[in-house]
């Protein structure tokens, strides 16, 4: 049994106490706000056929004197997650940061940092890296369109 408690009130969620894990993501950005920021900064966003995800290899599972790297397919870079959210903007409602794997809560091990996740209009939440992996071997034309179709199919499962 873990000694960790789960935050339950809105005050606890906005500022978790030491030794407490938030019950849900504390910070998220709505896709509309994300689009406004991209437009304001005049960033050029890729399409499904030009998207090339960048994964991070600097996330670790730490605890009890050990440190083990997390598979990079769970750790999409933040700029790549923004690009993916824009590609999927017609079904993506928000992005947030959370642990690479949602099964880690309550474990004696912790992740060295959070990674991007996306929330969709059907209620599905996906680790952005897990969706971006469809583009790892399927990019360009027509590969990017195939990757996008597979990602959307994954999301449709809820």
Where in the sequence is the domain holding 92, given as residue range(s)?
A: 28-41+51-145
33 occurs within a structural domain:
yes
88 occurs within a structural domain:
yes
37 occurs within a structural domain:
yes
Write out the chain's pLDDT in tens, 158 residues.
Answer: 334 333 333 333 333 333 344 445 457 888 889 888 888 888 888 999 999 999 999 999 988 888 999 999 999 999 999 999 999 999 999 999 998 986 556 777 888 999 999 999 999 999 999 999 999 988 888 888 999 999 999 999 98
pLDDT at site 104: 55
> How many CB atoms neighbour CB 128 within 10 A?
28
Q: Give residues with Cβ within 8 angstroms of 134, minimum separation 6.
A: 146, 147, 148, 150, 151, 154
Considering its fold, how many domains does the chain have in total?
Answer: 1
105 occurs within a structural domain:
yes
pLDDT at site 49: 94
**DSSP labels for 105-140?**
TT-S-EESS-EEEEEETTS-EEEHHHHHHHHHS--H
1 occurs within a structural domain:
no
Give this prediction's pTM: 0.78
Give me the residue label for tokens 């990019």: 139
11 occurs within a structural domain:
no
130 occurs within a structural domain:
yes
127 occurs within a structural domain:
yes
pLDDT at site 3: 40
């Amino acid at each position: 049994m873990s000694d960790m408690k789960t935050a339950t009130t809105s005050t606890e969620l906005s500022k978790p106490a030491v030794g407490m894990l938030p019950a849900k993501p504390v910070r998220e950005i709505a896709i509309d706000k994300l689009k406004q920021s991209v437009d304001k900064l005049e960033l050029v966003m890729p399409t499904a056929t030009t998207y090339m995800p960048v994964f991070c290899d600097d996330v670790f599972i730490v605890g009890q004197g050990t440190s083990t790297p997390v598979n990079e397919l769970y750790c999409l870079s933040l700029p790549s997650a923004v690009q993916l959210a824009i590609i999927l903007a017609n079904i993506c409602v928000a992005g947030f940061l959370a642990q690479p794997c949602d099964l880690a809560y309550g474990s004696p091990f912790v992740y060295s940092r959070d990674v991007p996740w996306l929330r969709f209009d059907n209620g599905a939440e996906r680790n952005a890296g897990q969706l971006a992996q469809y583009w790892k071997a399927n990019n360009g034309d027509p590969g990017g369109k195939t990757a996008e179709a597979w990602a959307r199919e994954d999301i449709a499962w809820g």
